[in-house]
């Protein structure tokens, strides 16, 4: 009986090491091919760029975050979506300090709701509250978005996302964002 537990434990260890090696190999491959991609191809195309690392079953979120960081550096990229996707990838990994750091970089200095009704800062601040384990602030920012849900389609989408963060507050970020109703 003890031997069978030992064998199972060893197999599990090897499978985790194999996944890590596959993620590192994929990351190195993407470093060679993706840093010269257009922003649209790298960031906005499903199954391309960093999204390929997120879309596989190997759990390569860390490598996706590292790839985005390298893309930003090489291309001196300024698009907020790149930094936001990096924040999310670090959140998936469970490195909430890095997720907070990158989330803060996408906050808008000023929001003009008369021109654009998307409650972006509330959405980002709600995510930061989740990373900080501050449920009251998460709910506060979620409620602000709920009041404006009919004013911009993005608010409706973000509301579902934040409802999942609240529902699964005691779970990791990756779990919560992958179980949106």
- Averaged pLDDT of the chain: 90
Between 2-34 and 61-75, two packed helices, what is the crossing angle to 10 degrees?
20
31-69, pLDDT tens digit by residue? 999 999 999 999 998 888 999 888 756 689 999 999 999
Query: Are 10 and 19 spatial neighbours (Cβ–Cβ below 8 Å)?
Result: no
Q: What is the pLDDT of residue 128?
A: 98
Query: Are 131 and 99 spatial neighbours (Cβ–Cβ below 8 Å)?
Result: yes
Query: Are 17 and 39 spatial neighbours (Cβ–Cβ below 8 Å)?
Result: no
Q: What is the pLDDT of residue 17?
A: 46
Give the domains, in start order, of the chain with CATH numbers.
2-177 (1.25.40)
Cα–Cα distance list, 118 to 93, 110, 147, 163 (Å): 27, 12, 11, 17
Closest CA to 106 of 85, 129, 90: 85
Q: What is the pLDDT of residue 133?
A: 98
- Rounded CA separation 157/78 (Å): 24
Q: What's the mean pLDDT in 120-141?
A: 98
Q: What is the pLDDT of residue 54?
A: 84
- Rounded CA separation 140/167 (Å): 14
Q: Is the pLDDT assigned to residue 19 strictly greater than 70? A: no
Between 61-75 and 80-93, two packed helices, what is the crossing angle to 10 degrees?
150
Q: What is the pLDDT of residue 152?
A: 97
Q: What is the pLDDT of residue 2?
A: 57
Q: What is the pLDDT of residue 177?
A: 95
Query: The tokens 């079953």 sit on which residue?
Result: 57
The tokens of 43 are what? 């960031």
Query: The tokens 């601040």 sit on which residue?
Result: 125
């Amino acid at each position: 009986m003890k031997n069978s537990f030992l064998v199972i434990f060893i197999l599990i260890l090897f499978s985790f090491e194999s996944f890590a090696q596959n993620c590192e190999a994929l990351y190195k491959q993407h470093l060679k091919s993706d840093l010269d991609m257009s922003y649209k191809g790298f960031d906005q195309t499903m199954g391309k760029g960093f999204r390929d690392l997120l879309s596989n079953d190997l759990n390569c979120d860390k490598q996706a975050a590292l790839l985005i960081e390298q893309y930003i550096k090489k291309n001196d990229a300024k698009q907020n979506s790149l930094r936001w996707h990096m924040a999310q990838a670090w959140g998936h990994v469970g490195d909430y300090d890095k997720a907070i750091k990158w989330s803060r970089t996408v906050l808008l200095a000023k929001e003009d709701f008369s021109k654009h009704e998307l409650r972006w800062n509330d959405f980002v601040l709600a995510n930061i509250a989740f990373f900080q384990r501050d449920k009251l602030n998460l709910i506060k920012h979620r409620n602000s978005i709920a009041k404006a849900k009919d004013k911009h389609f993005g608010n409706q989408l973000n509301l579902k996302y934040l409802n999942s963060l609240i529902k699964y507050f005691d779970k990791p970020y990756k779990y919560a964002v992958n179980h949106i109703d």
